[in-house]
Amino acid sequence: MAAPQQTNWPALSQALATVSAETALIPNAPAIVQNQQLHAQQQALAQQLQASNQQTQASFQQIQAILQQLQATVQQVQATVQQVQANQAETTTCLDGMPARIANATCELQLPLAYPPLPNNAAQPVGPGGPMPWTKLDIINYTAPQAADALAALGLPPQHTLILRRQSLARFFGFVL
């Protein structure tokens, strides 16, 4: 017959203490599960934030591209304004009110020495200076765009409008230019 085994009480008490410690952890199991769920939620939120950051960066790049286009457009407008200002600086206004489109032009070269008589199919009013041709040119506003058309119908260049008006009024009131 075999001899009865002796119980190792210190080892048994240590094993019992380990089992009780592990059993004590079991009430914390719901907290561990909750922590794992919170960690999973944090990871999902981090992924959403990363996607949102990527969209924000893409939008920012689009805005930068639009701003660069606007800047290029502003530079083109500034160049156009400078060109217009340079063209205006080259343009001189002659005595007859019409601009000379040639840089540094002298207006005397554009004014003819003698003006052709106006065609006259209407009645001629008589002023102190004698008969005066009375045409559409004598009553229209010579600075209006229609003045050039009226002159063209008579075969006259558009820069004659102010001179013709002055001559017509001068003849009507008896002055000779």
3-state SS string over the chain? CCCCCCCCHHHHHHHHHHHHHHHHHHHHHHHHHHHHHHHHHHHHHHHHHHHHHHHHHHHHHHHHHHHHHHHHHHHHHHHHHHHHHHHHHHCEECCCCCEECCCCCCHHHCCCCCCCCCCCCCCCCEECCEECCCCHHHHCCCCCHHHHHHHHHCCCCHHHHHHHHHHHHHHHCCCCC
In tens, the pLDDT along 119-137 reads: 444 345 445 555 545 444 4
Q: Is the pLDDT of residue 9 over 50?
A: yes
pLDDT at 71 over 50: yes
Look at the pTM and tell me if it is higher than 0.75. no
R_g of the chain, CA atoms, integer Å: 51
Q: Which residue has the tokens 């924000």?
A: 56
pLDDT at 106: 47
d(C-alpha 115, C-alpha 165), whole Å = 12
Of 94, 88, 123, 127, nearest to 111 by C-alpha is 94
* Confidence band of 108 (pLDDT split at 50, 70, 90): very low
Beta bridge partners of 131: 126
What separation in angstroms does the CA of 9 have from each of 13, 40, 166? 6, 45, 137
Cα 44 from Cα 50, distance rounded (Å): 10
